[in-house]
Amino acid sequence: MAVTLGSELELPCGAVLPNRLAKAAMTEGLATPDGRPTPELERLYGIWADGGSGMLLSGNIIVDADHLERPGNVVIDREPDADMQARLARWAQAATRQGNHFWAQISHGGRQTQKVVNPHPKSSSDVALALPGGQFGKPTPLTTAEIADLVARWAIAARACKDAGFTGVQVHGAHGYLVSQFLSPRVNRRTDEYGGSLENRARFLLDIVAAVRAAVGPGFPVSVKLNSADFQKGGFDFSDSLKVVRWLEAASVDLIEISGGTYEQPKLLGVAGQEAEDEQVVAPSTAAREAYFVDFAKAMQAEVSVPLMVTGGFRSRAAMEQALTSGAADVIGLGRPLCVDTDAPARLLEGAEQLARYEDDLDLVPEWLGFLKRFQMVKAISGFAGIYWFYQQLWMLGHDGRVDRDFPVFKAFRLVDARGKRIMKERAAAL
């Protein structure tokens, strides 16, 4: 039988996704300053649940309050108290109210934690981010005891989410966050059992997966988000990724989301990186289509049978169906379109052919000043300003249940930045 967007997907653990469309993980920034879920998160995810996705992925749920991905992250870094567990339960209830899945993406910022959160973040090694602006401090290598503690925290967070009514979890091993830092030979300079060979560099991830599986049991979906490549010379490459996928399949992972890039080379977000990309040995057809990572997933699918989710760039029904029917993807992840058109999955399931590309009109630099984009810093800031526009849409959805397609990009940039600083001041005062 032909696979369509509306087809069910049975995962290896036995759980069934009602269709092949997933709301991809996007950072929300809507938690309390101390990392607790809020009514705004409930409202936002209830809207997304009504939008038709078979599965919703949360934004980063952090296992260490000192290593936020951004101010306003949800944090589960210990056994939750009664208030935290009740908040998680209300969030999960809203996010599953149409019978869809809701999975918790569990993460740790590592060296990609801003100085305003932690001037001395922990990482695999002491390799600092090669980014201008001084927003990130030089990291300190984790000790083996600290690594073991973090593995236990992933398991605690996964169990707390399951108990609250989430229907699955995802270990974030991509985009340059802590697990990705261990996987990368460019960042991981360790000489102990967590460094050197790929087997050692993947040990942290596989330890986390084993601990999470033990915490949630065999019938609960456990997934991993993994870079197809870091797109940096000397970084985690496609051959590494393919080997890790094989190990994850053997470790009883139910779904692997294929992505790519880091803060230094933010491939997924379409933002200019700080250096030339490393060349990858993979078919060149992805650029001719619209989905960034389809060819990487297709090459992986030839080697493994674990279901794969592909996120990044999908806008047309034709490209989504091609990815499914060609065997490149089992689940299609949608991100930025759902920041504005929250019912896009339902419309696709009803036959819509195309989703809007709002990012094409979100340029901070006016056309008459286009020459400034010759400067890498200006180009990067302009790209991130567009991302902040989507953050602002999520804020409005969470607070007011509405979006504003005409919201000024520069105003969004200022508001989101100021909001983050305010949250950090409130957090510091509370501590």
Alpha carbons 313 and 335: distance in angstroms, whole number: 9
Residue 195 has pLDDT above 70, yes or no: yes
Per-residue pLDDT tens digits for 86-121: 999 999 999 999 999 999 999 999 999 999 899 999
Residues 6+ apart with CB under 8 A from 406: none
Tokens of 383: 């790209």
pLDDT level of residue 424 (50, 70, 90 thresholds) = confident
Residue 35 has pLDDT above 80, yes or no: yes
Q: At what angle do helices 203-216 and 144-164 cross, to 10 degrees?
A: 30
By mean pLDDT, which of 21-35, 283-297, 351-365 is the weakest? 283-297
Q: State the amino acid at position 247 in one-letter form.
A: W
Question: First vs last Cα of the chain: how many Å apart?
Answer: 57
164, 155, 149: which is closest to 82 by C-alpha? 164
CA-to-CA dists, residue 377 to 136, 236, 388, angstroms:
16, 25, 16
337, 349, 345: which is closest to 394 by C-alpha? 337
Tell if the pTM clears 0.75, that is, is over it: yes
Q: Which residues pair with 227 in a beta bridge?
A: 259
Hey, what CATH class is 9-360 in?
Answer: alpha beta
Query: What 3-state class would DSSP assign to 103?
Result: strand
pLDDT level of residue 251 (50, 70, 90 thresholds) = very high
Q: Is 347 exposed, middle or buried (0-12, 13-18, 19+ CB in 10 A)?
A: middle
pLDDT level of residue 133 (50, 70, 90 thresholds) = low
Inter-residue contact 194 to 124 (CB < 8 Å): yes
Q: Which residues pair with 326 in a beta bridge?
A: none
Alpha carbons 294 and 410: distance in angstroms, whole number: 33
Alpha carbons 187 and 234: distance in angstroms, whole number: 9
> Would you kindly state where each structural domain of the chain is located, as residue ranges?
9-360
Residues 6+ apart with CB under 8 A from 253: 209, 222, 223, 224, 306
pLDDT level of residue 274 (50, 70, 90 thresholds) = very low
pLDDT level of residue 383 (50, 70, 90 thresholds) = low
DSSP state for residue 235 in the 8-state scheme: S
pLDDT level of residue 377 (50, 70, 90 thresholds) = low
Backbone angles phi, psi at 263, to 5 degrees: -60, -35
Per-residue pLDDT tens digits for 204-228: 999 999 999 999 999 999 999 998 8
Strand blocks (E) in 228-278: 255-259
Residue 276 has pLDDT above 50, yes or no: no
Per-residue pLDDT tens digits for 284-343: 454 344 566 788 888 888 889 999 999 888 999 999 999 999 888 999 999 999 999 999
Residues 6+ apart with CB under 8 A from 216: 158, 159, 162, 169, 222
Alpha carbons 110 and 174: distance in angstroms, whole number: 12
